[in-house]
Amino acid sequence: MGSTQGTTYRATQSTTQETIQRTTAKPEVCFLCMNRYLRQRQSVCTCSHCSRPLCSDCLRDHINDLPKNVAQLSHQLHELEGLLQTKKDMVQQEVSKSNDEIKQCIKTYQNKLVEAQHAIFVGIENAKQEADVIILLKRLFF
């Protein structure tokens, strides 16, 4: 793969299908050398998936690590999906429980309102009967 100053091209690693961008326009320090080995080496390419500049040695390591990283990420994704489903189920249970509690409270208040209405009607009927008795007594004695 040839390159001229200031140009960019792509090469595909067949085993991992990793796309690498080779840049000669602005050389950077290799990300892995600097962070893992505390050394500075000029990068020869940039990984297009993680956008990290890499030297040729670290590029091989990075490509070899990708299947392991993908497997770890896949495992973490499945764990998070399970956790998300668990939390979703918990929320649905709490919503259902809350709805049941609200329905029960409303039913209790409705029953109390019906009882209060009945008491008011009985009170009105008693007051009416008392008034009728008083009116009858007034007619008889006055």
Domain boundaries, the chain: 8-64
Phi, psi of 21, deg, nearest 5: -105, 125
Task: Output the pLDDT for position 25.
Answer: 52
pTM of the entire predicted model: 0.49
Q: What is the DSSP letter of 48?
A: T
> How far apart are alpha carbons 91 and 88 in whole angstroms?
5
Helix (H, G, I), strand (E, B) or coil at 46: strand
Task: Return the closest-CA partner of residue 67 out of 13, 10, 11.
Answer: 13
Which residue spans within the chain are E strands per DSSP? 8-13, 18-23, 45-47, 53-54
Tokens of 48: 């297009």
Task: Output the pLDDT for position 102.
Answer: 98
Tokens of 46: 């940039």
Task: Output the pLDDT for position 103.
Answer: 98
Question: One digit per residue, pLDDT tens: the chain, 142 residues?
Answer: 333 333 333 333 443 344 444 444 566 899 888 888 888 888 888 887 888 898 888 888 888 888 998 999 999 999 999 999 999 999 999 999 999 999 999 999 999 999 999 999 999 999 999 999 999 998 888 7
Laid out side by side, the sheet with 53-54 consists of 8-13, 18-23, 45-47, 53-54
Task: Output the pLDDT for position 39.
Answer: 85
Task: Output the pLDDT for position 134.
Answer: 92
